[in-house]
Structure 1
Amino acid sequence: MRTSAIGSLPGVDVGAGVRLALESVSVPWLPEFPARGPWAGMIGRGLGIAVGLGADVVAGAWHLTAAPGLDLRRARAALRDDLDLLEENAQGLTGPLKVAVAGPWTLAASVLLPHGGRVLGDRVARRDVAQALAAGVADLRADIERRLPGVAVVLQVDEPSLPAVLAGAVPTEGGYFRHRSVERSEAAELLREVGGDVLHCCAPGLDVELVLGAGGAGFSGVALDQNHLTPATWDAVAPHLEAGHDLWLGCAPTHPPVAPAADALTRRVLQVLRPLELGPVAAERIVLTPSCGLAGWPPSEVPALFSALAVTAGRVDDELRG
């Protein structure tokens, strides 16, 4: 059974964080460090990856602009620096490397148009953002695989806003109204255009069939917070595990920001996996992760969390294969 992480790490020591991300889990990842500023968080990095967009932070919120502003230029520079550090520390790395990017629907729900109002409310604008993101993702994959020829990029698309987008629950900029719901077909189409491998959603109510089902968004895996996995969600996920999809199980709670004991974490994972009766299939298709990013954690607690995950993965693997 494999282990990995979701995205962010605390602090601003990018070099130490990259080394931790390469050494502490079986599926390494390129971390984000939001403590550096808005350009280094999920939305800033997503806009920095997108090709051909202008954006800037205005009054604390990201707005599309006619030309790249200072914060977008910082986002692109921070990503280049992070990739340089990754290349320096990951020479000889082979196998999967997970890279996260904000998805088109979370960007549309978070970013404002030049004169106000969310991108989500403008059908043309949200398609433009998705296409710019898709082009940037293709460039990012190629850049990483050029720098690290032995690596296969696993693209994690972060979509915490997707359930709200589909439910018509995203508030307008002023907060008095809600944007109308987006049709499932359009939601799937723009996700397919970006072309991710794993869709991560730390909000409850994700439509698993939209992500993994035939005719859906085309992802090979889904990353979910164990706290949000209801019996109905497990009923939707289990057949996809048997069919060869992956579940990145957010089993380690990130609130409060304290590393769990491996014994407690093992019990927590087995409590939900044993009833599925999938045996070795679960061991092969499930990746254990924290439930969400770790940006708000004390740096001293982070290594202990990944140590507990590694011990838990070994124990659960033995149990399911025994």
Structure 2
Amino acid sequence: MPATAPAAGRLWEPGAATGIGSLPGSDPVEACRLVFDELPDLPHLPELPARGPGADMIGRSAGLLADMPVDLQPSGWRLVPRPGMDLRRTRDLLARDLDALGEVAAGYTGPLKVAVAGPWTLAATVELPRGHKALKDAGASRDIAEALAEGLAAHLAGIALAVPGARLIVQVDEPCLPAVLAGEVRTPSGFGVLPAVEEGVVVDRLRTLLAATGVPTGVHCCASAPPLGVLRLAKAAFASVDATLLTPADDDAVGEAVEAGVALMVGVVPARGAELSELSDARRTFEPVRSMWRRLGFAPEQLREVVVVTPTCGLAGATPAYARAALRRCRKAGRALADGSV
């Protein structure tokens, strides 16, 4: 199932579409087939949190941490002295995902996106052995980032073996990044917040991880007012955002990112809550991005070079029928963008 090779300097072909990561259901082979059927220009490795603990974003990524085992407690994932049943289950689920990917993507040549929770989101959610958030301990936060870089390298090597023709692209999921920067991460009790982390520290640690992958790597943050300046300074290859939440107040940050060479993955197809009939109009789907582009004053033809169409967030909470329709709408909107019809 070959894909068209992007021209030199491009991460993907104009008009590409992709998913954020998560899908409904529990069958990894079925999920991979859905992704490669509906998103042939930029498929991704699906995540299926409905399978339970260890298939969720945090458990799946915490399971990659090299020499930092985790276990599931009533309050969430926690660092522990030695591996246990929860970590074994997490790694077994990921191994099944790679088996499914190898089966479905046999012979595929083209870009393939892989998602992993970022170091700041892990530090803001994973607990220390005694129960506090790892973000409270600067040393633990640093160790998590280093362990993630090492574990991610091994994960990417496994994917490269499963799909030798793939050109890997990494998406670092950082939903907690705005809270980390603003000092809004709650303590485990819920009655307090942890101090804000200095922007320079956030940028340095992100930049180190993004560079360590050895492949094009960007950051996904679907919060309102995403910290695009931080992602630009961290040398992200792309920024993935919910475009329906962007306002004119974000224009300067978006413009500076694009001028710095940061590509955009724009969430324009609702991840949930919409009627299937609402997914039929590509022009209406893409209008938030086109309006932003006009405000920024960039050339219209540049839009197709810079932008990839995505859902606004993961699709784990959608029905299977809606998830397929949403991915298909992303693909149609992307191709309409490429041919200039939106």
* Residues 271 and 230 (structure 1), Cα distance of their counterparts in 2 relative to 1, 3 Å cut: closer
Matched AA of 1:131: E
> Which residue of the partner structure matches residue 294 of structure 1?
315
**1:70 aligned onto 2:85:** yes
Aligned partner of residue 109 in structure 1, secondary structure: helix
> Which residue of the partner structure matches residue 240 of structure 2?
223
* Residues 295 and 262 (structure 1), Cα distance of their counterparts in 2 relative to 1, 3 Å cut: closer
> Which residue of the partner structure matches residue 138 of structure 2?
123
Choose from 218, 223, 228 the match for 1:198: 218
Measure the CA separation in 1 of the matches of 2:98 and 2:236. Answer: 25
**1:19 aligned onto 2:39:** no
Contact 2:78 2:128 in 1 (8 A): yes
Aligned partner of residue 10 in structure 1, secondary structure: coil
* Residues 118 and 243 (structure 1), Cα distance of their counterparts in 2 relative to 1, 3 Å cut: closer
Q: TM-score, normalised by structure 2?
A: 0.88
- Matched-pair identity in %: 41
> Which residue of the partner structure matches residue 253 of structure 1?
270
> Which residue of the partner structure matches residue 230 of structure 2?
210
Matched AA of 2:311: P
> Which residue of the partner structure matches residue 10 of structure 2?
none
Q: C-alpha displacement at 1:194, in angstroms? A: 2.0
Query: 1:150-181 CA distances to partner (integer Å, 9 max, x unpaired)?
Result: 11111100000000000001111111111000
Q: How does 1:5-154 map to 2 (within 5 A)?
A: 5-25=19-39, 26-154=41-169
* Residues 284 and 59 (structure 1), Cα distance of their counterparts in 2 relative to 1, 3 Å cut: same
Measure the CA separation in 2 of the matches of 1:279 and 1:82. Answer: 39
**1:267 aligned onto 2:284:** yes
Aligned partner of residue 50 in structure 1, secondary structure: coil
Q: How does 1:156-195 map to 2 (within 5 A)?
A: 156-195=171-210
Aligned partner of residue 68 in structure 1, secondary structure: coil
Contact 2:28 2:97 in 1 (8 A): yes
Measure the CA separation in 1 of the matches of 2:22 and 2:281. Answer: 24
Contact 1:171 1:178 in 2 (8 A): yes
Contact 1:283 1:320 in 2 (8 A): no
> Which residue of the partner structure matches residue 335 of structure 2?
314
Contact 1:252 1:265 in 2 (8 A): no
Larger mean Cα displacement after TM superposition, 145-154 or 93-102: 145-154
Matched AA of 1:286: V
Aligned partner of residue 27 in structure 1, secondary structure: coil
Matched AA of 1:24: E
Measure the CA separation in 2 of the matches of 1:300 and 1:145. Answer: 30
Measure the CA separation in 2 of the matches of 1:88 and 1:74. Answer: 21
* Residues 259 and 194 (structure 1), Cα distance of their counterparts in 2 relative to 1, 3 Å cut: farther
> Which residue of the partner structure matches residue 281 of structure 1?
302
Q: C-alpha displacement at 1:92, in angstroms? A: 1.2
Larger mean Cα displacement after TM superposition, 226-235 or 294-303: 226-235
Matched AA of 1:89: V
Q: C-alpha displacement at 1:72, in angstroms? A: 1.3
Aligned partner of residue 83 in structure 2, secondary structure: coil
**1:240 aligned onto 2:268:** no
Q: TM-score, normalised by structure 1?
A: 0.94
Q: C-alpha displacement at 1:2, in angstroms? A: 1.0
* Residues 238 and 268 (structure 1), Cα distance of their counterparts in 2 relative to 1, 3 Å cut: farther
**1:3 aligned onto 2:39:** no
Q: C-alpha displacement at 1:62, in angstroms? A: 0.7
Measure the CA separation in 1 of the matches of 2:288 and 2:234. Answer: 30
Q: What residue ranges of structure 2 are gaps of 5+ in the alignment?
A: 1-14
Query: 1:94-118 CA distances to partner (integer Å, 9 max, x unpaired)?
Result: 1110000000111111111111110
